[in-house]
Amino acid sequence: MRPISLQKQLVLRLLIVVACLWVLGLVIATMQLNEELNKTFDSALQETAERILPLALVEIYNREESKLLQQLPALGAHKERLTYQVRNAANQVLLQSHTAQQHDFNLALRDGFESQDGYRVFTVSAVQGAYFIQVAEPLSHRREAVLHTLLIMAIPLLVLLPLCLLMAIFLVRQVINPVTQYGKQLALRGAGDLTPIIPEHLPLELEPMTQAVNQLMLRLQTALETERHFTANAAHELRTPLATMMAQTQRLEKTLSDEASRLKAGQLVVTLNHLVSLSDKLLQLAKADSSGLLTDKPENLSALLLLIVDEYVRSGKHDIRLQLPEQVLMACIDADAFYILAKNLIENAVKHGDANESIHVQLSNKGELRVVNACEPLSAEQLKRLHERFFRASSNTSGSGLGLAIVEALVKGIGAQLKFLSPATDSKRGFEAVIQLPIQ
């Protein structure tokens, strides 16, 4: 499962917390509001009853038949919130509002508040319990008031949530930005750059992580340097005894009269040549794995490439077609590193290319180096494994299997891009190595 980004988690959780707190606030406010509204409406019911009762008694006393029911007419069409009725001690209705007949006031005649059948009723007596007035209000009216107030309080949440989302994204990005920059610094590091990173404005909680990463990089750098030193020292120490053995074997070969012995001595010379070549490759590999492949001073890559090609052309054994850019190509690449890189590419083309076909070497103004040789096309599996050390696509040719691995290590060290193509561009066969160099 793909993990959720830290920024999304923080924003999402912050919004959930804000929404939950807002809802909790609404619930508490609703409970408090409901309590206060009930007190207010109950007070209004009581006040209304106390104001109507004296007037109702005057109306009853002034009638000829005081025990007859009288319903007061409405002055105009309107929605009635309150209804009332006046009863005597015998529970006989004497006076009521124009909508009172629609509701059941079948309540005991005792002073105080009572809720029944969806109504809140207040009853109060007068004239020593001879008359009672009951004022009723529908409870739905109170619920509507609470709901209306709740909606008014909830609407800002719908408006503020998007604003909270934008603000949360902005603030979280500001906090996460140093972490993002730290990740970019790590990603931009070259393969040979293992120096510690000192990030700026990184949160205090992440300092142990950065310290652990820096310590890991230092330990890794120490281990790699130890490996490179061992490889370089071993290869260097082997050169002298190998050269001595080569000279002694060649002298022995010349003194031998037996053809079989001379043949074996010749095979030994070939083996020693292979060991000398392997020691040279190991030295190059140690150079490729080291740091310092980039320089502050630009080097003339055109001149270096011409020098390498001339070495092969002067031997007269290889047909190499060189195409250089019109202007001198400069780049801040160590001269030895570029020499080893180009030399291994051309050497690979010489070893594995068809002997009767030309090798094409091209360096463009944009810093693109191409080396193309004719051969049977390689399979996708072979192309995929060409960067592996000691891998050879063909067992019919001599070689250590380190040439292209050295090239790839150098390419990573200088921050270039490498790709292998087979068949070559605009061809049905051949092999092509393309390197995009970092140029100024």
Q: What is the pLDDT along the chain (440 residues), one digit of tens a residue?
A: 567 777 788 888 888 888 888 888 888 888 888 888 888 888 988 898 888 888 888 887 877 665 555 555 555 555 667 888 888 888 888 888 876 664 556 777 888 888 887 888 889 888 888 889 888 888 888 888 888 888 887 787 778 778 888 888 888 888 888 888 888 877 777 655 677 777 777 777 778 888 888 888 888 777 767 766 666 666 666 667 777 777 787 777 777 777 777 788 777 777 777 776 666 666 666 666 666 677 778 889 899 999 988 888 887 777 889 899 888 888 888 888 888 888 888 888 888 888 888 889 999 988 899 999 988 888 888 888 887 776 766 655 666 677 788 888 888 888 888 898 888 888 888 899 999 988 76
CA distances from 237 to 230, 233, 406 (A): 10, 6, 20
Same domain, residue pair 405 and 302: yes
* DSSP type of residue 430: -
Task: Classify residue 26: in a domain, yes or no.
Answer: yes
Beta partners for residue 420, in sequence order:
433
Same domain, residue pair 124 and 219: no
Task: Classify residue 305: in a domain, yes or no.
Answer: yes
Q: Which long-range contacts (CB under 8 A, 24 or more apart) does 302-306 make?
A: 302/328, 302/329, 302/363, 303/328, 304/335, 304/338, 304/339, 304/342, 305/342, 305/361, 305/363, 305/369
CA distance 292 to 228: 14
pLDDT of residue 341: 87
Task: Classify residue 227: in a domain, yes or no.
Answer: yes
Domain that holds residue 125: 6-71+81-146
Same domain, residue pair 272 and 297: no
pLDDT of residue 371: 92
**Number of residues that this document lists for the chain:** 440
Task: Classify residue 166: in a domain, yes or no.
Answer: no
Same domain, residue pair 425 and 316: yes
DSSP H or E run through 93: strand 93-96
Same domain, residue pair 379 and 296: yes
Task: Classify residue 164: in a domain, yes or no.
Answer: no
**CA 359 from centre of chain:** 45
pLDDT of residue 246: 75
Of 123, 90, 130, 80, nearest to 105 by C-alpha is 123
Of the residues 108, 130, 146, the one at which a domain ends:
146
Same domain, residue pair 298 and 279: no
Q: Which CATH number belongs to the domain containing residue 285 in this structure?
A: 1.10.287
Task: Classify residue 28: in a domain, yes or no.
Answer: yes
CA distance 4 to 14: 15
Q: Which CATH number belongs to the domain containing residue 408 in this structure?
A: 3.30.565.10
Of the residues 270, 291, 312, the one at which a domain ends:
291
Same domain, residue pair 312 and 431: yes
Same domain, residue pair 132 and 18: yes
Q: Under DSSP, is residue 294 helix (H, G, I), strand (E, B) or coil? A: strand
Task: Classify residue 286: in a domain, yes or no.
Answer: yes
CA distance 325 to 330: 11
Same domain, residue pair 362 and 414: yes
Task: Classify residue 157: in a domain, yes or no.
Answer: no
Same domain, residue pair 126 and 256: no
Instruction: Tell if the pTM clears 0.75, that is, is over it.
Output: no
Of the residues 146, 167, 183, the one at which a domain ends:
146
pLDDT of residue 49: 87
Same domain, residue pair 120 and 243: no
Same domain, residue pair 341 and 397: yes
What is the count of structural domains for the chain?
A: 3
